[in-house]
Structure 1
Amino acid sequence: METRRLELLVALARLGSMREVADEMGVTTSTVSQQIAALARETGTELLEPVGRRVRLTPAGRRLADHGLTILAAVDAARADLDPGAEPAGTVRVAGFATAIRRSLLPLLGSLEDTQVRMLVAEHEPIEALDLLAEDAIDLALVYDYALAPLTFGNRFEATPLWTARWGLGVPGESTVDDLSTVDIVDRHRDHDWIVNSRNDADERVVAALAAHAGFTPRIVHRADSLDLVQDLVAAGLGVGLLPEGMPMRSGVRLIPLREPEVLLRAFAVVGRGRAAWAPLALIADRLMG
Structure 2
Amino acid sequence: MDTRRLELLVALARLGSMREVADELGVTTSTVSQQIAALAREAGTALLEPVGRRVRLTPAGRRLADHGVTILAAVEAARADLDPDAEPAGSVRVAGFATAIRRSLVPLLASLRSTRVQMLIAEHEPAEALDLLADDAVDLALVYDYALAPRTVDDRFEATPLWTARWGLAVPADSAHEDGTAHAVVARHRHDDWIVNSRNDADERVVAALAAHSGSAPRIVHRADSLDLVQDLVAAGLGVGLLAESVTVRPGVRLLPLREPDVLLRAFAVVRRGRAAWAPLALVAGRLTSTVDTNGSRR
Specify the alignment match of 1:77 in structure 2. 77
Deviation of the 1:27 alpha carbon: 2.5
Distance 2:14 2:105 in 1: 46
Q: What are the ranges of 5 or more consecutive residues in structure 1 without an aligned counterpart?
A: none
Is the partner of 1:267 in helix, strand or coil? strand
Specify the alignment match of 1:4 in structure 2. 4
Specify the alignment match of 1:178 in structure 2. 178
Distance 1:177 1:157 in 2: 44
Aligned ranges for residues 125-274 of structure 1 at < 5 Å? 125-274=125-274
Q: Tell me, yes or no, if structure 1 residue 123 matches structure 2 residue 114.
A: no
Distance 2:97 2:284 in 1: 17
Is the partner of 1:39 in helix, strand or coil? helix
Aligned AA for 2:35? Q
Moved more, 171-180 or 106-115: 171-180
CA offsets per residue over residues 115-135 of structure 1, 9 Å max, x none?
222211111111111111111
Specify the alignment match of 1:93 in structure 2. 93
Distance 2:179 2:132 in 1: 43
Aligned AA for 1:151? R
Specify the alignment match of 2:109 in structure 1. 109
Query: What percentage of aligned pairs have identical amino acids?
Result: 82
The count of corresponding residues between Structure 1 and Structure 2 is: 290
Is the partner of 2:11 in helix, strand or coil? helix
Is the partner of 1:105 in helix, strand or coil? helix
Aligned AA for 1:237? G
Aligned AA for 1:140? L
Is the partner of 1:214 in helix, strand or coil? coil
Aligned AA for 2:178? D
The answer (yes or no) to whether the contact 1:196–1:204 under 8 Å persists in 2 is: yes
CA offsets per residue over residues 53-90 of structure 1, 9 Å max, x none?
33221111111112111211221122222222122122
Query: What is the alpha-carbon root mean square deviation over aligned residues?
Result: 1.4
Specify the alignment match of 1:20 in structure 2. 20
Q: Tell me, yes or no, if structure 1 residue 55 matches structure 2 residue 55.
A: yes
Aligned AA for 2:277? A
The answer (yes or no) to whether the contact 1:48–1:61 under 8 Å persists in 2 is: yes
Distance 1:179 1:254 in 2: 12
Distance 1:56 1:288 in 2: 56
Is the partner of 1:165 in helix, strand or coil? strand
Q: TM-score, normalised by structure 1?
A: 0.96
Q: Tell me, yes or no, if structure 1 residue 276 matches structure 2 residue 271.
A: no
The answer (yes or no) to whether the contact 1:108–1:287 under 8 Å persists in 2 is: yes
Distance 1:20 1:251 in 2: 83
Moved more, 73-82 or 127-136: 73-82
Distance 1:156 1:99 in 2: 25
The answer (yes or no) to whether the contact 1:97–1:123 under 8 Å persists in 2 is: yes
Deviation of the 1:169 alpha carbon: 0.5
Deviation of the 1:23 alpha carbon: 2.7
Runs of 4+ residues over 6 Å off in structure 1: none
Distance 2:27 2:209 in 1: 74
Q: TM-score, normalised by structure 2?
A: 0.93
Distance 2:15 2:177 in 1: 85
CA offsets per residue over residues 88-115 of structure 1, 9 Å max, x none?
1222111111111111111111111122
Aligned AA for 2:186? V
Moved more, 14-23 or 59-68: 14-23
Deviation of the 1:51 alpha carbon: 2.7
Aligned AA for 1:234? V
Q: What are the ranges of 5 or more consecutive residues in structure 2 without an aligned counterpart?
A: 291-299
Aligned AA for 1:219? R
Distance 2:55 2:288 in 1: 57
